[in-house]
Structure 1
Amino acid sequence: MTQTTAPAPVAAPAASPAPRARSGRVRRLTGTDRLVLGVMIGVPTLIQAVLIWIPTLLSIGLSFTRWNGLALSDIHSAGLANYRFAVDEYPPFWPAVWHNVIWLVFLAGIATPLGVVLAVLLDQKIRFTRLYQSIFFTPVMLSLVLVGIVWQLVYARDEGLLNNLLGTAGTPSAVDWFGDPHVNLWAALVATAWRHAGYIMVLYLAGLKGLDPSLREAAAIDGANDRQTLFKVVFPAMRQINVVVVVITLIEALRAFDIAYVINRGTNGLELLSILVIQNLVGEGQVIGVGSALAVLLLVVSLVPIVAYLIRTFRRAD
């Protein structure tokens, strides 16, 4: 009779420790946390208030006064006299308004479409696209003052690049691009478009890169050509970027200042609203009340596209 041995019992696996229950409590802020948050919020708010909001409120208040900018005791109430003078009796006001309108039409009709075309072309799979993007974006990284200086070298009457290319540099027939009131506005607009087109290109190129590829595939299946796909599918899908570009173009046209001021301090056919504000607030013959009134008018006009954009954005968020 054979004796059978029972198999050795298999040891049960060791039980894994039970996971610790996560605490549902939120850690309370320490004194150091409150200090850091206070600094992070308070410092930018203070800078914003000191550099933007307080001067804005002071300008609104000074627009209803007469003041020579010296003693505070010389401030006298003027009511709406500064606004009436600026609109009805100040000779450069309406030419400046007209120049700002031309600035807006030029940016909206030429510079912005040029930026869109560059974005569409660079969105294609072409060689050296990164290099082209860098070249067209370089002016955006330059300050407008530096852009004005660069174009002074291009437009200079005697030694400028443009007159040298035309073969008229140093001759009586050389075009005074910045001195002639009939052409200096257009010369400044070309310099502005050089920078503005690169900015618009970057905005639209970012939108094109982030667009859902299935939209174009669906349009191709439906038989749409490239032009139909661009105008009927791509641009409508980039509605938010279109709104941002419109607002930016409006603001750029209204706050145009640097290039015109570098060229000839905004005189001799280059009058702009922003330059009239500076001319009345700073320098000889300053009329602070009139300058403040012009600044308030410019602020009100600038707030229209900004408020419209914010209302649209908040409604979409809701």
Structure 2
Amino acid sequence: MRRSPSHAHPRPRRLGPGDRLFLALVVGIPVLALLVFVWLPALASIGLSFTSWDGLTLSDIHWVGLGNYHQIFTNYPPFWPAVGHNVVWLLFTALLPTPFGVFLAYQLDHKIRFTRFYQTAIFMPMVLSLAVVGFVWEIIYNPDTGLLDGVIGHDIDWLGDPHLNLWAVLVASGWRHTGYIMILYLAGLKGFDPALKEAAALDGANGRQTFLRVVLPALKPVNIIILVVTVMESLRAFDVVYVLGGGTGSKPGMELLSLLITDNIIGESSHIGYGSALAVILLVVSLAAIGTFLVQTFRKEDQ
């Protein structure tokens, strides 16, 4: 009886020296850069947060334990106003620019005329750096020759008034953030199955109901990305405030954690221990906020 020839499995090709070198470079260089520019400075900041150091010589480093954290929470006046302003920044960004960017994306997905022009115009601020955005809005808010005061016919010191300057900066930041969210959500809508919209329309759902009950739940991964981006943008806000605030983190009404860190680490009077402690606090808050949300989200999906 004749046996059918067995089909031998092909052996996996072994990597040659050139392939191994290529993989080592492709994987090793990004990992090395991540270690050198991210993890090592982060670990160094954690260590320095327990010391007192003016940044001049290593011999001036003195161990103070939790002294920096105790002083931040009890005797460091700008800290709590900065925390409050970061919370206001987060709430403003989450409640106004982010939903408005989603709204614009949903409208532009309807194939209206000049869609490409609108997308480009709205996304244009995102192409600019935050420093350039700050300079643009500094011209708009100028109390002498600014566009805004000329339009409303009143001379208002938008950036000098501690009751107005934070809101003025939030408008400038939201102008840029809206375009970013619009592009992210528009990319998600492009991959959305149009048959789901047609099924909802056949069931009698209007546009608003279709978006809230069909589109929004289906784009949950995009929603998670947008929420994470919004939280991170709010916590690490720096460039626009630095430019519009005149390069200081202690200007009344404009205190933010990122600016306090910069003032203490590279300011005129360096307090690297204080600045590192502030950086660690900001890192812990960021990881706690993002981690808690992601854990809750994936737990619900598993259930």
Is residue 247 of structure 1 aligned with residue 228 of structure 2?
yes
CA offsets 1:67-118 (integer angstroms, 9 cap, x no match): 1212212211111110011111101001101100110110011111110111
Is residue 93 of structure 1 aligned with residue 58 of structure 2?
no
Match of 2:166 among 185, 200, 208: 185
Is residue 126 of structure 1 aligned with residue 112 of structure 2?
yes
**Which residue does 1:274 correspond to in 2?**
258
**Which residue does 1:39 correspond to in 2?**
25
Q: TM-score, normalised by structure 1?
A: 0.88
Q: Distance in 1 between matches of 2:30 and 2:176?
A: 29
Match of 1:230 among 186, 189, 211: 211
Deviation of residue 166 (structure 1)?
A: 2.2
**Which residue does 2:90 correspond to in 1?**
104
Identity %: 57
Deviation of residue 305 (structure 1)?
A: 3.4
Secondary structure in structure 2 of the residue aligned to 1:34: helix
Q: Distance in 1 between matches of 2:289 and 2:252?
A: 30
Deviation of residue 308 (structure 1)?
A: 3.9
Larger radius of gyration: 1
Is residue 200 of structure 1 aligned with residue 200 of structure 2?
no
Secondary structure in structure 1 of the residue aligned to 2:90: helix
Deviation of residue 235 (structure 1)?
A: 0.5
CA offsets 1:45-75 (integer angstroms, 9 cap, x no match): 1111111110000000000111121221221
What code does the residue aligned with 1:103 have?
Answer: W
Q: Distance in 2 between matches of 1:62 and 1:209?
A: 47
**Which residue does 1:48 correspond to in 2?**
34
Q: Distance in 1 between matches of 2:102 and 2:8?
A: 52
**Which residue does 2:291 correspond to in 1?**
307
Q: Distance in 2 between matches of 1:229 and 1:63?
A: 51
Match of 1:291 among 268, 275, 300: 275
What code does the residue aligned with 2:275 have?
Answer: G
Gaps of 5+ in 2: 1-6
Q: Number of matched residues?
A: 292
Q: Distance in 1 between matches of 2:59 and 2:105?
A: 57
Q: Distance in 1 between matches of 2:37 and 2:243?
A: 23
Deviation of residue 176 (structure 1)?
A: 1.2
CA offsets 1:24-53 (integer angstroms, 9 cap, x no match): 022211111111111111111111111111
Q: Distance in 2 between matches of 1:136 and 1:308?
A: 32
Q: Distance in 1 between matches of 2:203 and 2:152?
A: 51
**Which residue does 1:161 correspond to in 2?**
147
CA offsets 1:237-257 (integer angstroms, 9 cap, x no match): 111111111111111111011
Match of 1:61 among 43, 47, 52: 47
CA offsets 1:273-309 (integer angstroms, 9 cap, x no match): 0000010001222111111100000000111233346
Q: TM-score, normalised by structure 2?
A: 0.92
Secondary structure in structure 2 of the residue aligned to 1:223: coil
Q: Distance in 1 between matches of 2:54 and 2:171?
A: 38
Secondary structure in structure 2 of the residue aligned to 1:70: coil
1:146-157, aligned counterparts within 5 Å?
146-157=132-143
Task: Give the CA RMSD over aligned residues.
Answer: 1.8
Deviation of residue 312 (structure 1)?
A: 6.5
Is residue 137 of structure 1 aligned with residue 123 of structure 2?
yes
Q: Distance in 2 between matches of 1:23 and 1:131?
A: 55
Q: Distance in 2 between matches of 1:106 and 1:220?
A: 34
Q: Distance in 1 between matches of 2:92 and 2:223?
A: 17
